[in-house]
Chain A
């Protein structure tokens, strides 16, 4: 009799996911499904609103990475109005983006994915969480809080608000940075850089070596990758060209507003969330593990894979080591965590660099804009993947059409595939336990998915729930942590 295992909700990801594992009659994995929540109705709500309101409104889409939505929307506005922000306006946006990235990557590594590595995937569920980290490593916990606090304070000083930002506006940035503010910010950014250096050194020395075997096997799938690069091929987060790489390492590049020529979205009946795929490869869409079609990934590992180099010196050293160890493109899903720490270092370096740039305190930070009928695409690399805002307006600057593709949506198919790979390799003859189920969850957490809602479960009382159903859908057993 076939069984269905349901893991719901997956813990320590940004929001919820429900994993269903369908076993065949012999207790081996037949299929898996990852269901996630999608924000519904946002596009419809935007129709008829002034386009310049969107950078402010979109920060409410997601409480996890509001800066990414804010900046992608501001860039889409620039395109709609047909303007380029002044150099300083652009640099202030990039500075905020870099700081927001450091906050987010620290959050993910130490709070969400970290417990699996710090405490170990087999550690008791009651301690394999952020409280476990705080108790086992109080000094690290203290530094994490301190550096996230510094990030939030820097964003407050630069923009007035760190949680619901409003300062990126069509045509630039509404608040120039004063010299007095810059002088206060420099040592704060330098302190975060020291922590970024500590983080990657700590992980490379104490965490990753212990789990290299797991990294090399868990959730490994073969896909293409999507990310942004600058003109010289360096990893870029705020602006550049999209590079879509096949699993064999060959790639094509395209401008943001051409994304519909390269990417299409597949709809499947069991989930609201769409499955973007590379339509220009001309092979269609398939999540078959042995012969995937059209599947690409975004987020940290994707960006490191598509880039030729890093634009900052310390991150470049880490990048070279990573590439020499794992090749290009690296396919091991858990390497997202390693790649995340390289990006943490890069963003911390970038923040220091911008704050020492003489342009940064120039008072010319925005240009005026005039409404017109146009289409504008704003794209940015969010911590969780490539984020696309695509707007169309009428001659009065009112929205007539909106399309958003968020980072986690790009990774919908790969997440499903990694879960299937992990479950298939770990669950045999109907045998499974808590550690195995956590390893399946780890393969999802590596992607740092952001599901726009709000519950975390840490003490194990309900985080992972397994419903076993027979082939007719009758509940025959339930297991809880």
Chain B
């Protein structure tokens, strides 16, 4: 046995924040941008793990599902259609994610919503989704956040850090 911690950081810390989305598709890169902003410019609490997972979130969530040790809370930050003004940042209930988010065969959907439901319902984790109403998600590769989305990065970071303030 090596002296590496048996489980990854993201399983051992109480809070896990995942920045999800594909940076090649405009505002779909919002989640990764928020994580980068927090890691570079903000002071973060010790009991939280921030990961820019891009389109790789499932790799992390699968491991959490199987792990004996799990975070108590997962915060997902992502761009998704939530019926608000473009650029708005809101908390979205996992149950309110419409079925077409699962079935529309788009690569611009909230990743792993089903796996998140399983983690909440079967494993007892608290799941919070912080969503951007995206001003622009192109249908073809076209990277870079819109100005409105860029302005919302700080808003989303503030929101996430406020949630984490009650961390002991």
A164 CB within 8 Å of chain B: yes
- Contact A164 B66, beta carbon cutoff 8 Å: no
A423 CB within 8 Å of chain B: no
- Contact A150 B2, beta carbon cutoff 8 Å: yes
Distance between Cα atoms of A65 and B140 in the complex (Å): 20
A216 CB within 8 Å of chain B: no
Distance between Cα atoms of A456 and B59 in the complex (Å): 11
Which B102-136 residues have a C-beta within 8 angstroms of A? Answer: 102-103, 105-107, 109, 111-115, 117-118, 121-123
- Contact A145 B63, beta carbon cutoff 8 Å: yes
Segment at the interface with A among B37-45, B49-57, B82-90, B151-159: B49-57
B148 CB within 8 Å of chain A: no
- Contact A40 B105, beta carbon cutoff 8 Å: no
Distance between Cα atoms of A138 and B4 in the complex (Å): 21
Chain A contributes a number of interface residues (CB within 8 A of B) equal to 56
- Contact A142 B66, beta carbon cutoff 8 Å: yes
- Contact A44 B140, beta carbon cutoff 8 Å: yes
- Contact A146 B122, beta carbon cutoff 8 Å: no
B92 CB within 8 Å of chain A: no
Distance between Cα atoms of A145 and B113 in the complex (Å): 21
- Contact B54 A188, beta carbon cutoff 8 Å: no
Distance to closest chain B CB from A414 (angstroms): 21
Distance between Cα atoms of A39 and B107 in the complex (Å): 8
Chain B interface residue number, banded: 35 or more
B93 CB within 8 Å of chain A: no
For B118, what are the chain A residues with a Cβ–Cβ distance below 8 Å? 129, 131, 458-459
Which A186-215 residues have a C-beta within 8 angstroms of B? Answer: 187-188, 191
- Contact A462 B102, beta carbon cutoff 8 Å: yes
For B143, what are the chain A residues with a Cβ–Cβ distance below 8 Å? 45
Closest 7 pairs between A and B when the two form their complex, measured CB to CB: A41-B140, A63-B55, A63-B56, A454-B111, A141-B66, A453-B107, A45-B141
In the complex, 29 of the A-B residue pairs with CB atoms within 8 angstroms, ordered by the A residue number, are A9-B102, A15-B107, A37-B106, A39-B107, A39-B141, A41-B138, A41-B140, A42-B141, A44-B141, A63-B57, A107-B59, A110-B66, A111-B66, A149-B6, A149-B7, A149-B8, A149-B63, A163-B53, A184-B2, A187-B1, A188-B2, A453-B109, A454-B109, A455-B101, A456-B115, A457-B102, A457-B114, A462-B99, A463-B114
